[in-house]
């Protein structure tokens, strides 16, 4: 890992910890968590927003105006509003995605949740995701937070990873194993 990447991670974690402490102190932790999840979704859905944040030619004043519009449009709480304004003023919005991830990890850890990654070949409903989450929570005897992604390349089946435990029932994986056996034979 490069020193630039390490610096980026430690800086993002520092900002995330500061926001976590502020939100906790102001009794807005749940609200900030929800708003950060919304901001994460906005970053993944809006390429214009993401490009604006990462573009070094856009001035911090212009970025601040966009952040203020977003904050007002979505009705973010004061803690997050001030925090995002601070990031824009200090020209640190390019860390936003990593800060969001670090913040959400902190909140998840404080709740004692385990993180699970779930890939499925078909689009899962909320009820199906909830059923999987409940089953995993029983198996691991801990609350589970699922990071779900639909992957049509899997052909059929699912892949679940919780920590170092991985369950791969996808056809793609089985075909890869079969190919490996045939090559070795």
Return the CATH number at 41. Answer: 1.10.520.20
- End of a domain among 58, 89, 109? 109
Q: How far is CA 136 from CA 115, 118, 139, in A?
A: 10, 11, 5
In this structure, the answer to whether residues 18 and 59 fall within a common structural domain is yes
Distance between CA atoms of 101 and 99, rounded to whole angstroms? 5
Distance between CA atoms of 149 and 137, rounded to whole angstroms? 19
In this structure, the answer to whether residues 128 and 99 fall within a common structural domain is no
In this structure, the answer to whether residues 82 and 123 fall within a common structural domain is no
Q: How far is CA 115 from CA 59, 120, 136, 162, in A?
A: 37, 16, 10, 6
Cβ pair 118, 158 in contact under 8 A: yes
Q: How many independent structural domains does the chain possess? A: 2
In this structure, the answer to whether residues 81 and 139 fall within a common structural domain is no
Q: What pLDDT sits at residue 1? A: 45
Containing domain of residue 39, as a range?
Answer: 3-109
Q: Inter-axis angle of helices 3-25 and 96-110, to 10 degrees?
A: 50
Other Cβ atoms closer than 10 A to 45: 9
Spans of the chain, pLDDT less than 50? 1-4
Distance between CA atoms of 25 and 9, rounded to whole angstroms? 24
Helix (H) or strand (E) holding 89: helix 78-89
- End of a domain among 109, 131, 153? 109
Residue 36 C-alpha from the chain's centroid: 9
In this structure, the answer to whether residues 18 and 92 fall within a common structural domain is yes
Structural tokens at position 109: 């850890």
In this structure, the answer to whether residues 53 and 99 fall within a common structural domain is yes
In this structure, the answer to whether residues 88 and 154 fall within a common structural domain is no
In this structure, the answer to whether residues 130 and 84 fall within a common structural domain is no
Classify residue 99 by burial, with Cβ atoms within 10 Å: 0-12, 13-18, 19+. Answer: buried
In this structure, the answer to whether residues 92 and 124 fall within a common structural domain is no
pLDDT in tens, 68-85: 888 888 888 888 888 988
């Amino acid at each position: 890992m490069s020193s630039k990447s390490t610096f980026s991670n430690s800086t993002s974690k520092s900002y995330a910890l500061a926001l976590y402490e502020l939100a906790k102190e102001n009794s807005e932790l749940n609200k900030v968590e929800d708003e950060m999840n919304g901001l994460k979704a906005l970053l993944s859905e809006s390429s214009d927003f993401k490009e604006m944040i990462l573009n070094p030619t856009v001035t911090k004043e212009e970025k601040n105006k966009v952040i203020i519009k977003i904050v007002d449009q979505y009705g973010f709480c004061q803690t997050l509003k001030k925090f995002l304004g601070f990031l824009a003023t200090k020209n640190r919005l390019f860390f936003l995605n990593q800060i969001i991830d670090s913040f959400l990890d902190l909140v998840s850890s404080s709740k004692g949740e385990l993180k699970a990654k779930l890939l499925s070949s078909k689009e899962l409903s909320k009820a199906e995701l909830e059923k999987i989450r409940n089953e995993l929570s029983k198996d691991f005897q801990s609350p589970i937070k699922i990071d779900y992604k639909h992957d049509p390349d899997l052909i059929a089946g699912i892949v679940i990873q919780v920590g170092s435990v991985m369950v791969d029932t996808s056809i793609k994986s089985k075909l890869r194993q079969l190919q490996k056996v045939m090559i070795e034979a």
